[in-house]
Structure 1
Amino acid sequence: MDCSVPLSVLFFGVNFISCSHLPPLRKYYYVDTLMTWAGAQRYCREEYTDLATFESTDDVSRLPPDTKPYRWIGLSDDPKSWRGTMGNDPNSWRWSSTGETSRTGYQNWAAGKPANALQPCAVMLADGRWNEYSCESALYFFCYTETNQATKTFVLIQLLKSWSAARDYCREHYTDLAKIENDEEQNKVNSAKPNHYIKAWIGLYRVPWTWSDKSQSSLRFWDSIGPNNADNKEFCGFKRPSHQWNDADCSRLFPFVCHQVTTLKTTLRMKFETDADITDPALNAQILQQLSAALTRQGFTDFKLRWKIPPKKQEKTKETQCVINE
């Protein structure tokens, strides 16, 4: 990250030193002991930080050459979080209009559904029950409009669209894809179905695959055949010698990759020259508040600002140090 930040604070000119080419946040370690995915996770959490997370292809490229055919990484799609449940885990089912799981916990899945990890979008079947489905399929869809009185009306749109295209259409013309949180709303959607109706999108979806350390990284570096969830029981991610990923049964015994998070500390020194009374605590606090806001906008996190008066400086010159931990 380039830490050179152009900034004007009140009437001060501020120059930041450059801190380009900072070392990476994670250091990776190969462990050649054979373990299940859960066993590898426990080991990495005890000896390092966690099973390996990758934020970018730069992270992947920093892995050394590897002769092992498979190694666990920290990516999984735990079915306990989404199979027949409306939980709160990152890969659980949630509604398009809120990006959150149901407030009421209401669900109307068909028997034994959802079960297919490769189908992370939901449809309503002819009998009103819900089923998982491939998000790229072209289907009709239900939109809803919600009034100030929290009353919902539902309409079936007889256009063939993918789930994401249907969502965008509903957001442009209505409120969103249908959100259904009780029997009354389910009955309203049922009444909007014509006789020839077969299945249509609703606003339920999930984001498959999450990182063991709860990272929000969206990087996916699957190989040409992964993930394929063979036999409907492959819910853990591994990497090949090429460093590309695939999925496997979590009970298999593989070596694995751990990562250790390193803390970076960078000191930024700034000189202010002014005729104002910078010994005034209120003015000092205002300066630090504006500096903090500017650094946050630049993407810095977990930093501390403090005043420091260097020796043998003129009375009207004061220096602040910014310690940034990322």
Structure 2
Amino acid sequence: MHRYTTLMTLLSFGCISGSQFPLRQYHYVNKPLNWSEAQLYCRENYTDLATFDSLDDLNRLKADFSFSWAWIGLHDDPAAWKTSMGNKSNSWRWSATGQTSTTGYQSWDSFSPDYYQAKDTCVTMIGGGLWNDDICNTAYSFLCFNVTDQNKKNYVFINQAMSWSSAQQYCRENYKDLAMIENQEENTEAQNTKLSNYRVWIGLYREPWTWSDGSKSSFRNWLPNTGLNNINENQHCITENPQHQWADESCNIPWVFVCHQDSKKKTTLRMKFISDADLTDPKVNAQILQQLHMMLSSGGMTDAKLKWTIQPSNKTTV
């Protein structure tokens, strides 16, 4: 019978979540640039334009821009939602799947989508089968749908005025979901189902604003009342004032800006394994590393890189 003994050194380089670890270092750059130029500067010299997860992050930012606004990394790229159906995190999605369009089909009216006054994030169908982005809390009638055994969508007109979220709940309880429309034939059928002069909710929605570095942070600190207004429908980037309050702004205006630098935490662990399994087998190594990685991730350590270091004479006969 053989037993195998090995000493494994795990070198872990990764980000540990939690407010007790100040992972990002913030850098104020007193150099007026437009948002895209500021993004490029931060990526070349630091990690990216600043991402914030909490008020603690904001309070750690010590920058003297008392007479100015400063770009941060939050933006709402129109290419992801205005000129195409897109597949980014701020693109339009269907309620039934929670996913972006698989066909790219769209039927917007000539003025939509425009994210008017930074409020329109749900979609109605108006006359002629055209789509219009609208305020989700407005009460309209709506279209639900079911799917037949032949994988064909049947649309149902509900002549009750509800907000988009209430209409979604009603459709999910009584049918499949709010109407999902993926081609011209389905759009025509949906249009013919509703009363011709009615504006109705369909299942399209989006969640605006994404971070430049791809972070999933949901933290926001809008300037009260006027922070979001999307004046002239062209304010798709975010600035911060000296009080750390945020407002949307046209991305081509030069402002000073804030970058961040990610901090990496290095951890070394030494573990001794004695097992009947052949610890020199690469497949066994890979399985153990996978299990350890899952344990570290559940404990808050993400993007960890683990490495075996096996001492000589690791095989013992018993």
Q: TM-score range by the shorter chain?
A: 0.7 to 0.9
Instruction: Tell me if structure 2 keeps the 8 A contact 1:84–1:112.
Output: no
Aligned residues: CA RMSD: 2.9
Instruction: Tell me if structure 2 keeps the 8 A contact 1:84–1:109.
Output: no
Normalised by the size of structure 2, how large is the TM-score? Answer: 0.82
1:125-164 matches, cutoff 5 A: 125-164=126-165
Classify 1:220/1:305 alpha carbon distance in 2 versus 1 (closer, same or farther; 3 Å).
Answer: same
Instruction: Tell me if structure 1 keeps the 8 A contact 2:141–2:198.
Output: no
1:5 counterpart residue number? none
1:186 counterpart residue number? 187
Report the CA distance between 1:133 and its aligned residue: 0.2
Aligned mate of 1:27, from 9, 25, 28? 25
Instruction: Tell me if structure 1 keeps the 8 A contact 2:92–2:100.
Output: yes
1:233-272 matches, cutoff 5 A: 233-270=234-271
Indicate the larger mover: 112-121 or 131-140. 112-121
2:206 counterpart residue number? 206
2:10 counterpart residue number? none
Question: Do residues 46 (structure 1) and 44 (structure 2) align?
Answer: yes
1:101 counterpart residue number? 100
Q: Quick one: distance in 2 between partners of 1:82 and 1:283?
A: 46
Identical counterparts, % of pairs: 48
Classify 1:298/1:153 alpha carbon distance in 2 versus 1 (closer, same or farther; 3 Å).
Answer: farther
Q: Quick one: distance in 1 between partners of 2:59 and 2:267?
A: 25
Classify 1:191/1:72 alpha carbon distance in 2 versus 1 (closer, same or farther; 3 Å).
Answer: same
Report the CA distance between 1:81 and its aligned residue: 2.6
Report the CA distance between 1:148 and its aligned residue: 4.3
Question: Do residues 304 (structure 1) and 302 (structure 2) align?
Answer: no
Report the CA distance between 1:230 and its aligned residue: 1.9
1:60 counterpart residue number? 58
Classify 1:285/1:52 alpha carbon distance in 2 versus 1 (closer, same or farther; 3 Å).
Answer: closer
Number of residue-to-residue matches in the alignment: 297
Classify 1:35/1:158 alpha carbon distance in 2 versus 1 (closer, same or farther; 3 Å).
Answer: same
Normalised by the size of structure 1, how large is the TM-score? Answer: 0.80
Classify 1:297/1:171 alpha carbon distance in 2 versus 1 (closer, same or farther; 3 Å).
Answer: farther
Classify 1:45/1:286 alpha carbon distance in 2 versus 1 (closer, same or farther; 3 Å).
Answer: closer
Report the CA distance between 1:277 and its aligned residue: 6.2
Equivalent residue letter for 2:176: T
Classify 1:26/1:132 alpha carbon distance in 2 versus 1 (closer, same or farther; 3 Å).
Answer: same
Question: Do residues 113 (structure 1) and 80 (structure 2) align?
Answer: no
Instruction: Tell me if structure 2 keeps the 8 A contact 1:93–1:205.
Output: yes
Tell me: higher relative CO, structure 1 or 2? Use CA pairs within 8 A at least 6 residues apart.
Answer: 2
CA shift digits 1:45-100 (9 cap, x unpaired)? 22112111112333222111532431011111222332242122332222122233
Q: Quick one: distance in 2 between partners of 1:83 and 1:285?
A: 45
1:293 counterpart residue number? 294
Unaligned runs of 5+ in 1: 1-18, 317-326
CA shift digits 1:286-308 (9 cap, x unpaired)? 54443333333334332234455
Q: Quick one: distance in 1 between partners of 2:19 and 2:234?
A: 42
Instruction: Tell me if structure 2 keeps the 8 A contact 1:41–1:51.
Output: yes
Instruction: Tell me if structure 1 keeps the 8 A contact 2:123–2:132.
Output: yes
Unaligned runs of 5+ in 2: 1-15
Q: Quick one: distance in 2 between partners of 1:267 and 1:148?
A: 56
Indicate the larger mover: 63-72 or 104-113. 63-72
Report the CA distance between 1:215 and its aligned residue: 2.1
